[in-house]
Amino acid sequence: MNARAQSCPVQDLQAEGLVVGLYEGETQLTDTAQAIDARVGGLLAAVLAAGDFKGKANQTVLLHSPSTPIKRVVLVGLGKSGDATLETIRQAAGKGVTTLRDVNVKSVTLALTEDAPRGWAPAKPAGRQEVAQAVTEGALLALFQMNDYRTRDLDEIKTVDAVTIWSTGPSEEIEAGVSRGSILADAIRFARTLIMHPSNVATATRMAEDARQACEAAGIAVKIYEKADLEAMKMGGILAVNQGSEHPPKFIVMEYRGGAPDEKPIAIVGKGVTFDTGGISLKPGEGMEKMKYDMAGGAAAIAIMLGAARLGIRKNLVGLVPATDNMPSATALKPGDVFTSYQGLTVEVLNTDAEGRLILCDALTYAVKDKQAAAIIDMATLTGACVVALGTEAVGVLGNHQGLINQLLQSGEKTGDRGWQLPLWKEYNELLRSDIADMKNIGGREAGTITAACFLQRFVGETPWVHLDIAGTAWTEKERPYRPKGPTGTPIRAVLDTLENWPTL
């Protein structure tokens, strides 16, 4: 489902359900709200006068006016106007549309574009395009559902069929914002769906097929390296992790050329562990089912390629997803085993549950050696330590290039995919010293997110690189206004924004 922009005078507006935002403590209705109020017989003013609605962020009130052309109005609070950002708008839009969906409204209209907040940075007011984009993102992302595995009572599932972003006057900016928001929501829907599939369905083979299909439709070239190819290339890391599996590994390579012909590509790398049991270093059973989301970085990489192509981003990109599950079996990798990575460095595996870095290291080498990447961004549900350090609010951000890190942090702030930087000082590298090989794959109990990044850093050399640890943010158990329980789609919007605002490296 996509959103569409509609413009007409309030006098002509008709809606099955209309979402209207109001700031906290505003007794006066804005001109537009006042005009809407007149259209629904003064219902809004009455609710405000009664004190039932204070406008606190995400507070909602559902009003009925069946005898008027606007059948229902959802008032949604935007909080204090001085605190409002684009994130406020996204959340309000999400709350508004789900409130209407839950009472079975099929067609929702949002009038939020008139309530422009100050933007995302304290000094920067939001433009109409940004606001329209935020409304669209919030609405479409909130309505995401995945019902592929239900076979009963399907008629009880409530879905919205049409989302309309309404404004009083025609505006190219609003149309552009709605179109961009729809593209982003679509890319995120692709990733969320793939992540939601259980691992018996979303195998590496299925990931590769879905990537191929979606990329080809978007004009992105795709090449899938098969197990035999990986053997011929000596991609020892991907093969080591896949060694215990019944399912063949895939290395998905996607290329989009939106930049100058001679410009080196930016590599977008994502961890595609379709299920992480831990391997022989088996994880505890409790909560293990969630490890189907260990391919969220890979799904994000595919989604970013799709989004970049559809937004027409003027950069050359190469998307890289090493995909396999991590299984214990008679043939599985064992603690103490040593393998040779694609780059040539030997790795002693002290814990088979630190598998993400083992498949990523080969993909990073491929980015550097085979694609001469100008820069690399990798995304991975890499460490439980990141969940301990930052919880579910922030992506762990580490890297070797402060300018690129700063841009990602800024893009995260703006898009709602927030990140927080952790240090990557060289002293941490001592923790990866192995007694028998060039390095070991774990650094011990301390600083787990940092030592994982140190491991990856050995494979990027001097290439500007940022690593995003999304272990805590790729999945949510708490329902949020536009992030239903399940896969969130983080950090797709932050990375796309970074690509569009690429710093000089």
Binding residues (CB under 6 A) for ligand BES: these are 276, 294, 351, 353-356, 381-385, 387, 442, 448, 471
Catalytic residue among 80, 264, 283, 334: 283
d(C-alpha 40, C-alpha 13), whole Å: 11
Could you tell me which stretch among 44-52, 294-302, 313-321, 340-348 binds Zn ion (CB under 5 A)?
294-302
Q: How far is the CB of 470 from ligand BES (least distance, A)?
A: 8
Residue 226 near residue 242, CB atoms below 8 Å? no
d(C-alpha 91, C-alpha 106), whole Å: 20
Cβ neighbours of residue 426 closer than 8 Å, sequence gap 6 or more: none
Of 313, 292, 321, nearest in space to 219 by CA: 313
Q: Which is nearer to ligand BES, 37 or 355 (CB)?
A: 355
Q: Dig out the tokens for 280 from the structure.
A: 């022989």
Residue nearest to Zn ion (CB): 276
Long-range contacts of 208-216 (CB under 8 A, 24+ apart): 208/250, 208/252, 208/323, 210/302, 211/252, 211/254, 211/302, 211/321, 214/190, 214/302, 214/306, 215/254, 215/302, 215/305, 215/306, 215/309
Q: Which of 115, 210, 294, 497 binds Zn ion (CB under 5 A)?
A: 294
What φ, ψ does residue 295 adopt, rounded to 5°?
-110, 15
Check binding of 297 to Zn ion (CB under 5 A). no
Catalytic residue among 192, 357, 414, 493: 357
Map the footprint of Mn ion across residues 273-292, applying CB under 5 A: 276
- Asked about 128 being catalytic, the answer comes back as no
Q: Which of 348, 353, 378, 413 binds Mn ion (CB under 5 A)?
A: 353
Residue 163 near residue 4, CB atoms below 8 Å? yes
- Asked about 283 being catalytic, the answer comes back as yes
Q: Which is nearer to ligand BES, 381 or 407 (CB)?
A: 381
- Contact letters for Zn ion, residues 267-286 (x by CB under 5 A): ------x--x----------
Q: Which is nearer to ligand BES, 130 or 355 (CB)?
A: 355
Residue nearest to Mn ion (CB): 353
Q: Which is nearer to ligand BES, 135 or 295 (CB)?
A: 295
Q: How far is CA 206 from the centre of its chain?
A: 20
**Is residue 124 helix, strand or coil?**
coil
Instruction: Report, as residue numbers or ranges, the catalytic residues.
Output: 283, 357
Residues that bind Zn ion (CB under 5 A): 273, 276, 294, 356
